[in-house]
Amino acid sequence: MKDLYQETLSSVAEVQRHFERHHYICDERIATCVFIAHNLQKPVLVEGPAGVGKTELAKTTAQLLDVPLVRLQCYEGLDEAKALYEWKYAKQLLYTQLLKDKLGELLEGTRGLRESMAKIHAHEDLFYSEDFLEPRPLYRALHEPRGCVLLIDEIDKSDQEFEAFLLEVLSDFQVSIPELGTIVARVKPLVFLTSNNSRELGDALKRRCLHLHIPYPDAALESRILSHRVPELSDRLRTEVVTFVQQLRELDLKKVPSISETIDWARTLLLLHAADLDAGLVKMTLNTLLKFETDIEAAGEHVRGFVEKARQRAGA
Amino acid sequence: MQQTLENFYKAVRAAGVAVAPANSIEASRAVALVGYRERGILKHALSMNLAKSHADQLLVEECFEQFFRFDAFRDGARDSAPQGGDDPTANAEASDKKTSTAEPRYEGELPLAKMLMAGDRTALAVAMQQAARDAGLTDIWFFTQKSLYTQQILQRMGLRELQDEIRALGEGSCPTRIATAGALRTAKDRLYEEVRDFVERQLGMFGKTAVQSLRERHLQKTRLSNIDLRDFRIMHELVRKMARRLSALYSRKRKRADRGQLDFARTLRRNVAHDGVLFETHWKTRFVDKPRVLVLCDVSGSVQAYARFLLLFLHSLNDVLKRIDSYVFTGSLASVNDIFDSYPVAEAIDKIMAEHGFGGSDYGGMLLDLERDCLRGIDHRTTVLILGDARNNNLDPRSHILQQVHQRAKRVIWLNPEPESFWNTGDSVMRNYRPYCHLAKTCNTLDHLERLLDDLLRAATAA
């Protein structure tokens, strides 16, 4: 069976081409990062504002390499029991009950405490075995026979303790389970960590990763992304949408619209059978782009000018 | 090439990005993987491995652009001649003229002179890089070392021999030889300028840390009132560094509760040893201890010089601590949380100074407002931080209110920009307030502030 590293990515340009085939349009920087990460088997820490395609990058990489994607969503209070493994305690309790019943049978013919203990020890310890283990994402990622893409989403939301725990996983791709010993990955997963920078991450973690910052796309890139994601959109409207959103990003807003919002908006316009942007339509649909009431108000006064400019650009 | 990469890492370190040996090893591996052919990809590969944040990434990329510059030598005089005129005939005439008199041609053996006369820029650049490496240019530290390194590089490139050669050429009476000597002399001067520019650029790269840390050290010792507006940004960064340390220690203190929702899985697991009888209980709920900080900052005329600094500090704190309430006052208390939240630092400070600044301070009035608005919210988790000089313009200090605050709050800290010997002189009422402060200190340099924060943090973690 082919594992994830036998699929060779021979050059940065090839990575870019592969991505494009999967409708993920990226610049050279992102492609270089995936290329290095894949070849050197290093984790990638992806930073950037919400909605620029951090999670999508991991998903597309998994598709591209044809391996499963294992996703671990981080949040405050996430611990080993939810990320790595948990014992199936109910089953374990049943097992002890069972053991009690069978104990007489097992010890038949033995004499004295010493002898019976010896007999019990001779049996393998089933109590802490993989049969009673409930695998969680990290454990599953290490166990994938062909490797996988492991996406640890929003690592900045997790606690410092969990971050420290991740260090072992990320540097050696192994974890220690006290009752079982060390578990090593069958095939090292390709790890993506995403962060919105709501908390400063530790240096130790950053040091182990390639650092990738995905900014808002420029007009040309955004237009290409849009043409792949919403192919039904006419060229003219696409240029207008991109020009409008790019202008919106220059404003001082609480939450600037990112590429995912642009795509949503384009779909909305398509649904409304809009052939052209006009101020009324934009004002009506502005809530798909902007998520705060104050932002919508702030942007409202600029809409007319922006639309004008967008139409000019598209007309030219 | 490894040497070049190592020099590059050195430059990156000098620019203030912490590059651990492990990072540089990884970066070298990545470079080996992507190769040197494409400049853009090489840049991305290096910045990805060396940088740890977006800010770092920009620094590394700037370093890359500076470091891998290969336009070191400008076109020499020989190229400038054809550029002189657009008319081809005029050009031809000029060259005719040149050949008819004495075309300076060099026939000696000196490699440097040959390169200069041939205008071989690549060879010159390579020779200069080589000489720079031999001279250990990457160790350059201060701008005073500039001429030293320039001389060393020139010597290594063979300046002395060149000078001897020029002298020897100029001695005779042959016009060609004299012309050659002249051309060489101009070329030598140009070479000198090139090398000096090169050294300057290198100083910019490798000397940055030295200059910056000197500057930071100097800033820490300077009285805060003397700090120039232009240093404001650097200072902002310094304060941020401190504030971040403060918040890191403050923000996460959690303990497990002993009531609430039962963590059934954990409890069962722990009690398997007791045959499933639940002796030890474990609970899901955890408390996160979130201390509150209440900051009151004087912006009156008497502390005018310091107010900007205090506000800067306050703004930085506001950035890093989640639960902080900031107030400014002269006569009455005004909340500035909104202003801090919605404007960048310089603007916010200007706005606050314009709206609330100047005028005479009235600490009594401020305390009355505090009693009315905030006293109820102050509890055993609250730290109250007062920044001001306690110069009350001979008004009623109303220290009994501060006493109440003292009783309710976890800590009351007073930072006074005046030295302690000035306290209680004139209209300062520090003596009335001091008994009700857990800590009252002079604070008018960043050094003070830093030491104070250390004290504070130690107390916070011990508690």
Q: Does B59 touch chain A (CB under 8 A)?
A: no
Q: Are residues A22 and A70 in the same domain?
A: yes
Give the model's pLDDT for residue A223. Answer: 92
Yes or no: say if A19 and A8 are a contact pair by the CB < 8 Å rule.
Answer: no
The CATH number linked to A36 is 3.40.50.300
Number of domains within chain A: 3
Q: Are residues A175 and A238 in the same domain?
A: no
Residue B42 Cα to chain centre, angstroms: 26
Cβ neighbours of B319 (radius 10 Å): 16
Give the model's pLDDT for residue A149. Answer: 93
Q: Are residues A178 and A228 in the same domain?
A: no
Fold of B237-253+289-462: Rossmann fold (3.40.50)
Give the model's pLDDT for residue A46. Answer: 93
Give the model's pLDDT for residue A292. Answer: 86
Beta strands in chain A (DSSP E): 44-47, 69-73, 85-87, 133-135, 149-153, 174-177, 181-184, 190-195, 210-213
Please answer yes or no on whether A96 and B272 come within 8 Å at the CB atom: yes
The yes-or-no verdict on residue A183 having pLDDT over 80 is yes
Segment (H or E) for A39: helix A28-40
Residue with tokens 């490797």: A147
Domain-embedded: residue A315: no
Yes or no: say if B318 and B392 are a contact pair by the CB < 8 Å rule.
Answer: no
Contact list, B266 vs chain A (CB under 8 Å): 81
Length of chain A: 316
Residue with tokens 């008199």: B101
Question: Last residue of some domain: A158, A179, A213?
Answer: A213
Contact list, B273 vs chain A (CB under 8 Å): none
Q: Are residues A184 and A232 in the same domain?
A: no
Chain A residue with CA closest to B47: the answer is: A211
- Radius of gyration (C-alpha) of chain A in whole angstroms: 27
The yes-or-no verdict on residue B72 having pLDDT over 60 is no
Question: 3-state SS string over B105-150?
Answer: CCCCCCHHHHHHHHCCHHHHHHHHHHHHHHHCHHHCCCHHHHHHHH
- Give pLDDT tens digits for B307-366: 777 777 777 667 666 667 888 888 788 888 888 777 777 777 778 888 887 777 888 888
Under 8 Å CB pairs connecting chains A and B tally to 76
- Give pLDDT tens digits for A81-133: 888 888 888 888 888 888 888 877 877 777 888 888 887 777 777 777 888 88
Q: Does B21 touch chain A (CB under 8 A)?
A: no
Give the pLDDT band (50/70/90) at residue A262. very high
The yes-or-no verdict on residue B391 having pLDDT over 80 is yes
Distance, in Å, from the CA atom of A83 to the CA atom of A86, rounded to the nearest integer, reads: 9
ipTM: 0.81
Please answer yes or no on whether B268 and A212 come within 8 Å at the CB atom: no
Question: How much is the mean pLDDT over chain B?
Answer: 75
3-state secondary structure of B297: strand
3-state secondary structure of B85: coil
Closest of B345, B437, B346 to residue B390, by C-alpha: B437
Distance, in Å, from the CA atom of B42 to the CA atom of B64, rounded to the nearest integer, reads: 10
- Give pLDDT tens digits for B16-40: 778 888 888 989 999 998 888 888 8
Among the partner-chain residues B29, B45, B57, the one whose CB lies closest to the CB of A32 is B45
Distance, in Å, from the CA atom of B323 to the CA atom of B411, rounded to the nearest integer, reads: 16
Q: Are residues A292 and A145 in the same domain?
A: no
Among the partner-chain residues A29, A92, A211, the one whose CB lies closest to the CB of B52 is A211
The yes-or-no verdict on residue B77 having pLDDT over 70 is no
Domain-embedded: residue A4: no
Q: Are residues A287 and A238 in the same domain?
A: yes
Please answer yes or no on whether A39 and B33 come within 8 Å at the CB atom: yes
Q: In sequence order, which residues have a C-beta less than 8 Å from that of residue B412 and are 6 or more positions away?
A: B383, B384, B386, B402, B405, B406, B436, B437, B438, B439
Give the model's pLDDT for residue B394. Answer: 82
Closest of B200, B191, B201 to residue B67, by C-alpha: B201
Distance, in Å, from the CA atom of A243 to the CA atom of A256, rounded to the nearest integer, reads: 14
- Mean pLDDT, rounded, for B158-168: 85
The yes-or-no verdict on residue B15 having pLDDT over 80 is no
Contact list, A93 vs chain B (CB under 8 Å): 268, 272, 276
Distance, in Å, from the CA atom of B11 to the CA atom of B60, rounded to the nearest integer, reads: 9
Chain A residue with CA closest to B244: the answer is: A200
The yes-or-no verdict on residue A227 having pLDDT over 70 is yes
Helix and strand counts by DSSP (H, E) for chain A? 15, 9
Q: Are residues A277 and A168 in the same domain?
A: no
3-state class percentages of chain A: helix first, strand second, coil last, to nearest 5: 55, 10, 35
Tell if the pTM clears 0.80, that is, is over it. no
Give the model's pLDDT for residue B103. Answer: 54
- Structural domain range at position A122: 87-131
Structure tokens at B296: 């009151």
Where are the domains positioned within chain B? 2-67, 99-207, 237-253+289-462
Please answer yes or no on whether A28 and B44 come within 8 Å at the CB atom: yes
Give the model's pLDDT for residue B78. Answer: 43
Q: Are residues A267 and A168 in the same domain?
A: no
Give the model's pLDDT for residue B100. Answer: 40
Please answer yes or no on whether A96 and B26 come within 8 Å at the CB atom: no
- Give pLDDT tens digits for B260-274: 777 777 788 777 777
Distance, in Å, from the CA atom of A61 to the CA atom of A145, rounded to the nearest integer, reads: 18
Question: Last residue of some domain: A196, A213, A230?
Answer: A213
Question: How much is the mean pLDDT over chain A?
Answer: 86
Backbone dihedral angles phi then psi of residue B283, each to the nearest 5 degrees? -120, 150
Please answer yes or no on whether B34 and A213 come within 8 Å at the CB atom: no
Give the pLDDT band (50/70/90) at residue B251. low
Closest of B5, B7, B17 to residue B50, by C-alpha: B17
Higher pLDDT: B95 or B290? It is: B290
The yes-or-no verdict on residue B156 having pLDDT over 90 is no
Give the model's pLDDT for residue B20. Answer: 86
Q: Does B272 touch chain A (CB under 8 A)?
A: yes
Question: Last residue of some domain: A163, A187, A213?
Answer: A213
CA angle B451, B455, B458 (to 5 degrees): 135
